[in-house]
Amino acid sequence: MNLSTEALFTVALGLQAPWRVERAELSTAKRRIDFDVICTERRMTCSHCATPDQSIHESIQRSWRHLDFFQFEAWLHASVPRVACSACGKTSQVPVPWAREGSGFTLLFEALALSLCKELPVAHAARHLRADAKALWRRIEYYIKVAREQDDMSGVRHIGIDETSLRKGHEYVTVVHDLEQKRLLFATQGRDHKTVEAFTQDLPGHRPCEHGYECGLPQRGSAATAQGGHLLRPLSCGSPGGQGHGRGACGGVQGPSRRCGHCAG
């Protein structure tokens, strides 16, 4: 391939300086296209402390599965620089713009994989993508963890707890729903009292209240209700250790610390 072809693929892959495609190799026999991507900078910003113009200590060869180019399975390969920082003293890998750290998939491939996994069983999605199902499960678990960490349940006032069987068998999961917003808040294996304990332990991390996180005090407007076979209960801030506190005892509103300064210390 000539230079203009590599430049074309650089644009097609959305790469910007200092990254560019140096070589593209198409194999019709393997139905695969491989891109060698290079970094043209000799000095880079430290990813740990953001100090610019640091020397590159070494480079590590990495590969990423990318979206197919037409019928060809596409792979990116690059030597990723590790910067030796004179400011913080650490040696850290430069992040690449096409993938998150530690992933063997590009961001676009991950997005496609996760979209497919919403529509299909993971094993079917893996076959469709010609990828390992375990690799897809690792991405699903990673993004579920990220999404749950960001899930804000501070507006939840009434919950419904129910059980359901898995695959019509004798394995059960307990699910907790927000009855007002009609969304799933929590699910865990089993159907005994430990499932409720697991929910109460999980809840404080998602529930900043007027007292701050994890203070265990009841929220304004919470109310006990019983309906059908579901358990409806008033929601406190979530901490099981809140006994003995009156509402007015905790006046501290904490911001991003995720701990109530009054009672969670």
- Integer CA distances (angstroms), 260 to 150, 211, 220, in order: 18, 7, 17
Residue count, binding to Zn ion (CB under 5 A): 7
86 binds Zn ion per the rule CB under 5 A: no
230 binds Zn ion per the rule CB under 5 A: no
Q: Which is nearer to Zn ion, 88 or 166 (CB)?
A: 88
88 binds Zn ion per the rule CB under 5 A: yes
146 binds Zn ion per the rule CB under 5 A: no
Q: How far is Cα 36 from Cα 52, in angstroms, rounded to an integer? A: 26
Among 20, 23, 32, 48, which residue interacts with Zn ion (rule: CB under 5 A)?
48
Q: Which is nearer to Zn ion, 47 or 236 (CB)?
A: 47
44 binds Zn ion per the rule CB under 5 A: no
46 binds Zn ion per the rule CB under 5 A: yes
85 binds Zn ion per the rule CB under 5 A: yes
94 binds Zn ion per the rule CB under 5 A: no
Least distance (Å) from Zn ion to the CB of residue 96? Answer: 18
Cβ neighbours, 10 Å, residue 85: 20
Q: Which is nearer to Zn ion, 49 or 223 (CB)?
A: 49
Q: Which is nearer to Zn ion, 57 or 148 (CB)?
A: 57
The residues that touch Zn ion, with contacts defined as CB under 5 A, are 46, 48-49, 51, 85, 87-88
